[in-house]
Amino acid sequence: MAVFTLAMMVLSGFLGAAASPGENRANVPVTMDGGTWLLHVPPSHQGPVELRFVEKPSLVMEVATGKALPFTHDAGTATIEPPTAPAASDTLIAVSWKNDRYDKDMQSFAERDRKNPPKPGGILFVGSSTIRIWNLEESFPGLNALNRGFGGSEYADAVYHFGRVILPYRPATVVIYGGDNDIARGKAPEWVFADFEALMRGIRHDLPETRVIVLSIKPSVARWPLWDKMKQANAMIAEYIRKQDKMDYVDITPLMLGSDGKPRAELLQKDGLHLNAEGYALCSSLVKPLLQAPGG
């Protein structure tokens, strides 16, 4: 029954237009909807189907039959054996993940929204702890910015929960911070960028008029050994944003490093990772002009 239900959900959700996470994510066309992605395998395709830069799926199945398909997962790549029967049109393979780490956060956001429904067209901040603990009213008085940060999250979590944490608010502007935890958990810069691009594609597909402001991954004392990888991810993200409309990249790195080229500990909490009030004041000084500018 669970497989049948998922198949019906996939068919109902994907027969319309859907965003692609990026051409480099698979060796066949792929569309996404949060925790379920759909692989479109053409009749001419030969050999296994590869889905790259992903966690191990919880379920891989042929949509038409609801049949689970064999797959392996190694180093962020899921290799799937498609059905062997010849097909006259694309074979649809649904790949899904179970991510319940942030269900309590999502339920909390929904409850807050129920009690005090936010108006669409506002300013939304989303991302990991750097967003979650940001006092937005103090940093941006009068802008009525909405904080939907959830601590410990990665770009992939924002993609997975896109329909719960970004899309419902229909924001005019969304400010995003991610990548920090991604690198700390062992993801390569290319993987971080792939997840970032998937999120941007989702926003552009469903919220084409929304302005996007992306903060660079910050250098910190606690994660200084990972800084080279973080810089690589930052460079890829900055280059992507440079080519896009209605997107801005805020590089907080120069303000976070001292004259010795190392993180300024006085901008961080005692854990050497999270920003303190002075650190947030500096970040806010870069973001505020963008929010106050026409179209911000």
pLDDT band at 34 (very low <50, low <70, confident <90, very high): confident
| Same domain flag for 172 and 78 | no
The CATH number assigned to the domain holding 259 equals: 3.40.50.1110
Residue 275: pLDDT above 80? yes
Q: How much is the average pLDDT of 236-240?
A: 98
| Same domain flag for 119 and 178 | yes
pLDDT of residue 17: 64
| Same domain flag for 157 and 262 | yes
pLDDT of residue 87: 73
| Same domain flag for 253 and 118 | yes
| Same domain flag for 81 and 118 | no
Q: Where are the alpha helices (DSSP H) in the chain?
A: 2-14, 103-115, 129-132, 136-139, 155-160, 162-165, 180-184, 189-206, 227-242, 253-256, 277-292
| Same domain flag for 16 and 154 | no
Domain assignment of residue 82, given as a range: 2-96
Question: Would you say 224 and 263 are in contact if contact means Cβ atoms under 8 Å apart?
Answer: yes
| Same domain flag for 127 and 248 | yes
| Same domain flag for 88 and 149 | no
What is the phi/psi pair of residue 148, to 5°?
Answer: -130, 45
Q: How much is the average pLDDT of 35-42?
A: 95
User: Is the pLDDT higher at 127 or at 4?
Assistant: 127
pLDDT of residue 85: 72
- Single-letter code of the amino acid located at 123: I
| Same domain flag for 152 and 196 | yes
pLDDT of residue 296: 57
pLDDT band at 8 (very low <50, low <70, confident <90, very high): very low
Residue 155: pLDDT above 70? yes
Handedness of CA 134, 137, 141, 144 (dihedral sign): positive
pLDDT of residue 196: 98
| Same domain flag for 131 and 277 | yes
Decide which of 74, 96, 118 is a domain's last residue: 96
Residue 183: pLDDT above 90? yes
| Same domain flag for 37 and 9 | yes
Decide which of 96, 114, 144 is a domain's last residue: 96
The pLDDT tens digits of the residues spanning 85-115 come to: 777 789 999 999 999 999 999 999 999 999 9
The CATH number assigned to the domain holding 86 equals: 2.60.40.1180
| Same domain flag for 112 and 252 | yes
Decide which of 56, 77, 96 is a domain's last residue: 96
pLDDT of residue 84: 80
Number of domains making up the chain: 2
Residue 11: pLDDT above 70? no
Distance CA(280)–CA(215), nearest Å, equals: 12
